[in-house]
């Protein structure tokens, strides 16, 4: 969901939510400050890239902040409309806040985190050998038993696929 030029998504991590903000840095700072001022978090904004940051909160605090922001919006833009109305603007702000929360996409893997809840990067997994390599040769290479590989007069110790070759 986009709010104030910032794309917002969240990841439910059990007792906590990780709210991810994407956009330009100034818009992200402004949106985070709004969430902070309305009680969504007392933590800090953590940047992962120049256009992506996140913070931690709970669902209850996040919903309350969305409702409070909606209430202030309604009161600032329609100050007279809710005067004398039972409950004032709060019932409509609750509906707006709930709708905003329901419209924010819930994603499974926005951030990877360890037991302390911090984001970390993952390396790239690559194959060490091609699928055509003989497993026996792979094991010899891993265990540094090169002496048992025999010389191949047509290609040294390697096949045309780049795998070590053992004489037959």
Query: Is 164 within a domain?
Result: yes
Check residue 70 and give left, alpha or beta (phi > 0: left; psi -120 to 50: alpha): alpha
Please identify, among 103, 138, 153, the residue that sits at the C-terminal boundary of a domain: 103
Q: Does position 155 have pLDDT exceeding 80, yes or no?
A: no
In this predicted structure, what is the pLDDT of residue 141?
63
Q: Does position 30 have pLDDT exceeding 50, yes or no?
A: yes
| 35 & 96 share domain | yes
Q: What mean pLDDT do residues 61-85 have?
A: 92
Query: Is 36 within a domain?
Result: yes
Of the candidates 30, 40, 22, 15, which has an alpha carbon nearest to the alpha carbon of residue 101? 40
Cα 18 to the center of its chain, rounded Å? 8
**Best-predicted range by mean pLDDT (70-79, 80-89, 149-158):** 70-79
Reduced to 3 states, what is the DSSP secondary structure of residue 106?
A: strand
* Encoded tokens for 125: 């997994």
| 99 & 163 share domain | no
What is the extent of the structural domain holding 152? 127-168
What is the C-alpha separation between 8 and 146, in angstroms, rounded?
A: 55
Query: Is 114 within a domain?
Result: no
| 54 & 89 share domain | yes
Reduced to 3 states, what is the DSSP secondary structure of residue 36?
A: helix
Q: What is the pLDDT of residues 95-136, one digit of tens each?
A: 999 999 999 999 887 666 555 555 555 555 555 555 666 666
Domain count, the chain: 2
What is the C-alpha separation between 10 and 106, in angstroms, rounded?
A: 5
Q: What is the pLDDT of residues 128-146, one digit of tens each?
A: 555 666 666 666 666 665 5
């Amino acid at each position: 969901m986009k709010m104030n030029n910032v794309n917002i998504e969240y990841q439910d991590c059990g007792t906590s939510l990780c709210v991810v903000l994407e956009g330009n840095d100034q818009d992200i700072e402004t949106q985070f400050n709004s969430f902070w001022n309305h009680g969504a978090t007392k933590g800090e904004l953590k940047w992962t890239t120049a256009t992506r940051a996140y913070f931690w909160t709970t669902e209850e605090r996040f919903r309350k902040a969305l409702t409070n922001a909606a209430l202030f919006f309604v009161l600032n833009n329609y100050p007279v409309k809710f005067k004398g109305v039972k409950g004032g603007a709060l019932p409509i702000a609750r509906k707006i806040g709930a709708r905003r929360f329901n419209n924010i996409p819930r994603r499974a893997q926005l951030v990877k985190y360890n037991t302390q809840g911090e984001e970390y990067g993952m390396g790239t997994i690559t194959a060490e050998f091609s699928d055509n390599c003989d497993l026996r040769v792979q094991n010899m290479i891993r265990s540094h038993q090169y002496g048992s590989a025999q010389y191949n007069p047509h290609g040294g110790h390697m096949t045309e696929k780049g795998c070590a070759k053992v004489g037959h």
